[in-house]
A and B are shown apart, each in its own frame.
Chain A
Amino acid sequence: MRDPHSFDEFYRTTAPRLLRYGYAVTGDRDEAQDLVQEAFARAWRHWRTLANHPTPEPWVRLTVSRLATDRWRRLRGWRLAATRAGPAPSSAPPSENTVLLVTALRVLPPAHRQALALHYLFDLSVDEIAEETGVASGTVKSWLSRGRARLATLLSDLAPSSDSEGQQCHTT
């Protein structure tokens, strides 16, 4: 039997983190909203088994990652349902720093975005990211290194000219 109470608690405690992650891997808040709802909907469908999983949050996170790589096709059904339910409530516009970051992130390959988000938002180690993404640690190191380098270039290019002089991108 699927226990709605344990699911609701899981949803309440993890949804904010998953939204941050979805935003970081998609670069779009509305898409992140769709992705995360879809991922949790799938989690609820499988909750009977997932509830006994030692780490259900990475399962949902991985679902978000996979959906993000092909989000429009996979989210067609959800989007239709959302349309019928009316538009999502609007939220305040993002900060200048966020706009700068997501603009740069959108240029990066999905794997680089995923690795960077897992590192900077969840503080996962290289080995932990490797385990979650199913690749070798060396690959993760490469993703992080190339991702940071690319972001540094992009952020410098994107920053207002008056601010960019003398600025360094600290990518540690």
Chain B
Amino acid sequence: MSHDLNDLYAALATDADAVLLPPAHSLRQGADRRARVFTVAVCLLAMVILGGVSVAVRPYFAKVAPSVGSTPPAEIPDFAFLVVPADLVDEDDPLPHEDSEFPRPTETPTVCGSVPDMSLKALERAQITTIKLPQEEVPSGTVAHEIVIFHNDGAARYLAWMRDLLRSGCPVEEGTVPRIVDGEPRGDDSMLVEIANNGEVEGYIWIVRLGDVLTSITVVGPESLSDRAVADRFADLGVAAVRAWLGY
């Protein structure tokens, strides 16, 4: 048996050539599918941070009147949510999906060892919409818009809790570390969170407080869909929609 390294590596190369890989089109489709699953997962992650357990909270909403606006809302209507601009609409999947279509946690989330106080939330609703650039072949990005109404100054307290939590720098999911980055202030108070997965920026979460309402706009996607400018654009749309609904 030869121990010449050239021969040994040649043998290894020959054996490696016997390994099968998927055809190129299958690999591309798989990669795109994974990217889409990931973006939805990150959007849901953002909702876990902001929204917690919707099942545990929803019974409150009929009983508790939020203090925003002259007439307390009894529900969050469709028109409170952002509308995806025409140039980013995925024509194959143009309509928003309610977050209830996606699996949600069944227990109160513990994020970095901290448990959010759910008792101050009154009402919440979220929509997730697929987005894509006009020239993209496949839907490859996601925007999630969540609206949460609090009472008893809960929105400000919740935002402060999240800010402290995110500044602690701990990952909220394996490989995913959100961090607060600078952004032009919006609403009464706001926070911009960058989502990176294993060092690659995957998207942004804008969290904006308008009185007792917190709204989050999460934009996740590959390449330019995860650009900061895209996130800012959706944040403006989301905040405008909520303001128009609340008259705030």
Residues of chain A having any CB pair with chain B under 8 Å: 1-2, 4, 7-8, 11-12, 15-16, 19-20, 22-24, 29, 32-33, 36-37, 40-42, 44-46, 48-49, 73-74, 76-78, 81, 85, 88-89, 91-92, 94-98, 100-102, 116-117, 120-121, 148, 151-152, 155-156, 159-160, 163, 167-172
B3, A24: Cβ atoms closer than 8 Å? no
Which B residues are in CB contact (< 8 Å) with A77? 34, 38
The answer to whether B160 has its CB under 8 Å from any CB of chain A is no
Which B residues are in CB contact (< 8 Å) with A163? 1
B22, A37: Cβ atoms closer than 8 Å? yes
The answer to whether B15 has its CB under 8 Å from any CB of chain A is yes
A100, B34: Cβ atoms closer than 8 Å? no
Q: How far is the CB of B54 from chain A (nearest CB, A)?
A: 25
Q: How far is the CB of A21 from chain B (nearest CB, A)?
A: 8
Q: Identify 11 residue pairs between A and B in the complex whose beta-carbon atoms are under 8 Å apart, listed by A's number.
A: A4-B137, A8-B24, A32-B16, A40-B27, A41-B30, A42-B31, A44-B27, A44-B28, A81-B33, A91-B18, A100-B1
Point out the residue from B28, B30, B223 that lies within 8 Å of A48, measured CB to CB. B223
Chain B interface, number of residues (Cβ within 8 angstroms): 40
> B134's closest neighbor in chain A, by CB?
A1
Which B residues are in CB contact (< 8 Å) with A7? 24, 28
The answer to whether B19 has its CB under 8 Å from any CB of chain A is yes
A33, B8: Cβ atoms closer than 8 Å? no
> A8's closest neighbor in chain B, by CB?
B24
Point out the residue from B2, B4, B17 that lies within 8 Å of A20, measured CB to CB. B17
Which A residues are in CB contact (< 8 Å) with B32? 44
Point out the residue from B5, B174, B222 that lies within 8 Å of A148, measured CB to CB. B5
Which A residues are in CB contact (< 8 Å) with B223? 45-46, 48-49
> A11's closest neighbor in chain B, by CB?
B24
B16, A155: Cβ atoms closer than 8 Å? no
B21, A97: Cβ atoms closer than 8 Å? no
C-alpha gap A48/B198 in the complex (Å): 20
The answer to whether B70 has its CB under 8 Å from any CB of chain A is no
Chain B residues 85 to 116 lying within 8 A of chain A, measured CB to CB, are none
Which B residues are in CB contact (< 8 Å) with A89? 20
Point out the residue from B1, B14, B31 that lies within 8 Å of A44, measured CB to CB. B31
Chain B residues 167 to 220 lying within 8 A of chain A, measured CB to CB, are 174-175, 198
B34, A41: Cβ atoms closer than 8 Å? yes
Point out the residue from A29, A85, A168 that lies within 8 Å of B16, measured CB to CB. A29
The answer to whether B7 has its CB under 8 Å from any CB of chain A is yes
Q: A20-B16, A120-B5 are in contact. List 14 more A-B contacts (CB 8 A).
A: A16-B17, A24-B12, A32-B19, A33-B19, A33-B20, A33-B21, A41-B31, A44-B32, A77-B34, A92-B18, A97-B2, A98-B8, A98-B15, A102-B12
Which B residues are in CB contact (< 8 Å) with A33? 19-21
A45, B222: Cβ atoms closer than 8 Å? yes
A32-B19, A91-B20, A97-B8 known; A159-B14 Cβ under 8 A: no
